[in-house]
Amino acid sequence: MLKRLLLIACVASFMGGFVTGKSAFGANFDDEMMCMAENMYWESRNQSFRGLIAVGNVVMNRVADSRYPDTICEVVKQGPEVKSWKSDEYYPKRNSCQFSWYCDGKSDSIPRPDAALFETVRAMAVKVAAGFFGDLTDGATHYHAYYVRPDWAVTKTPTVRIDAHIFYRWEK
């Protein structure tokens, strides 16, 4: 119940961004929704409506969990960074991010043939952040494709399988 209340409070602070353009965390609402939409797209674009929502649920469950960062973008982009050898800029360490698409070294530009799909996912992202669809994952903070066996999976509680992903809750 406490986790649900935290999630509702978090969503309410983001929803305030509709009026001000900023969330209670100081993050730009449009940027936060773009991070959510990109994550949902890249992690589950080949899955069902439920699969897309479930990936978004995991992001929101992490935002509500004190063990993770406080904003959607910080959750999506979480991972170690390395300094560029050319400048003072830092970049995500390849293949070390929480969500693999973010640091896989591939382009993150949405392919032109998927433009309409991405617009649908962007609309879904706002509704997921608002809690419109509910949590299909029963509090999951992790997931992986059914055909891989990550070491961390044995330390988490499985909750549900949706399409190609198996979801897990990290118990406190």
pLDDT at 83 over 50: yes
HEC string of 54-68? HHHHHHHHHHHCCCC
What tens digit of pLDDT does each residue of 3-46 get? 454 445 555 554 544 444 444 444 588 999 999 999 999 999 99
Classify domain 2-78+108-169 at the CATH topology level: Arc Repressor Mutant, subunit A (1.10.10)
pLDDT of residue 22: 46
Q: Across 64-154, where does the E strand assignment appear?
A: 81-83, 90-92, 142-145
- Residue 106 CB burial class (10 angstroms; 0-12, 13-18, ≥19): exposed
- Work out the angle between the directed axes of helices 2-15 and 49-64 (0-180°, nearest 10): 100
Contact between 171 and 142 under an 8 Å Cβ cutoff? The reply is no
- Residue 160 CB burial class (10 angstroms; 0-12, 13-18, ≥19): middle
144: helix, strand or coil: strand
Domain spans, the chain: 2-78+108-169
Other CB atoms within 10 A of residue 6 CB: 15
- Least confident among 10-19, 54-63, 105-114, 157-166: 10-19
pTM of the model: 0.80
pLDDT of residue 82: 80
pLDDT of residue 133: 95
Judged by phi (left if over 0) then psi (alpha if -120 to 50, else beta), residue 83 lies in: beta
- The pLDDT confidence band at residue 79, using thresholds 50, 70 and 90, is confident
16: helix, strand or coil: coil
- The pLDDT confidence band at residue 158, using thresholds 50, 70 and 90, is very high
- The pLDDT confidence band at residue 64, using thresholds 50, 70 and 90, is very high
The residue written with tokens 């003072």 in the block is 88
- Among 34, 31, 10, 11, which Cα is nearest to 22's? 31
Q: Which of 18-22, 77-81, 164-168 has the highest mean pLDDT?
A: 164-168
What tens digit of pLDDT does each residue of 91-150 get? 777 777 888 888 888 889 999 999 999 999 999 999 999 999 999 999 999 999 999 999
| Alpha-carbon 65 to chain mean position | 13
pLDDT of residue 12: 53
Which structure tokens are listed for 12?
């309410």
pLDDT of residue 5: 46
